[in-house]
Amino acid sequence: MYMSKSYDICMRDDGILVFTITRPDKRNAVNFEVMAGLNEAIQLANETKVKAFVITGEGEEAFCSGGDLGEFHQLKTEEQAYQMLIKMGELLYQLAMLSKPTVALINGIAIGGGCEIAAACDIRIARKGIKAGFVQGKLAITTGWGGGTILLERVQHSAAMKMLLEAKIYSFQQLIDLGFVQYIYEGDRWEGLRNNLDFIFSLEDTVLTAYKMMFVRKMRLLDLKERIESEIRQCALLWEKDAHHKQVDKFLNKKMTDQ
């Protein structure tokens, strides 16, 4: 087990490696420490003893609320933003291309970058009643970790464009209808994981890897890495614009007023 104040990495007896964001007071927002932990977990997931890699959030309120605006809002210029975005973009690329099945165990709301993380996973299992949305457009930027590019490979093109352009939070049923969520659970998340993914536990890891590599080979042919890089560059360009900083200031001020 690997732990910090921001994340936890745990290898379960059933061969599932779990990465948990442990910042419930920040709605499990991503900071640089979470990035470092995710990198560590992805490297561990490459080990042959791992059957699947699961990402989740601590508590019942949030899976991940995206990037920590309090921390990342200090990044003002295009280049400053790019350095952060490319770091996380590389992690999501590695996550998408991992040779093991990857699962987003969505225990609560997923917003912005939280949806990008979920999209990078092969399978999304969600607690009944959760909400999620790619809301980046409301902050005058695009997806910037590669999640928009990956989303176009996960769901139908029309559904992906709808989610990105509307930039709103969807209900649980809407997420199912859009094809973003494949499995649901109620009650204990680990029981929900096992009940929904019993097929993973029943198959040999060599079979799981062979099927996952079919997707990996396809994504290599479709230049996924280069497309993610273009997405990140576009987001960094918009990041330094006044429109983005004004929207973030507005959001942070509203948050302080609501407290």
Mean pLDDT of the chain: 94
Under-50 pLDDT residues of the chain: 259
Residue 21 placed within a domain? yes
pLDDT of residue 1: 61
Residue 26 in any domain: the answer is: yes
Is residue 153 one of the residues assigned to a domain?
yes
Give the pTM: 0.96
Give the residue among 9, 232, 230, 217 at the shortest CA–CA distance from 96.
217
Tally of domains within the chain: 1
Contact between 69 and 251 under an 8 Å Cβ cutoff? The reply is yes
> What pLDDT does 70 receive?
84
**Would residue 105 count as lying in a domain?**
yes
User: Which structural domain, as residue segments, surrounds residue 33?
Assistant: 2-202
What is the CB neighbour count within 10 angstroms for residue 106?
Answer: 33
State pLDDT tens for residues 140-173: 999 999 999 999 999 999 999 999 999 999 999 9
- CATH code of the domain containing 9: 3.90.226.10
Q: What angle do CA 63, 66, 67 make, to 5 degrees?
A: 135
* pLDDT value, residue 2: 66
Q: What is d(CA 89, CA 76) in angstroms, rounded to the nearest whole number?
A: 18
**Which pLDDT does position 26 carry in this prediction?**
95
Task: Indicate whether 230 belongs to any domain.
Answer: no
Asked, for residue 253, whether it belongs to a domain, the answer is no
Question: Residue 229 falls within a domain, yes or no?
Answer: no
Q: Say if residue 7 is exposed, middle or buried (CB neighbours under 10 Å; 0-12, 13-18, 19+).
A: buried
Name the pairing type of β-strands 132-133 and 109-111.
parallel
Is residue 248 included in any domain, yes or no? no
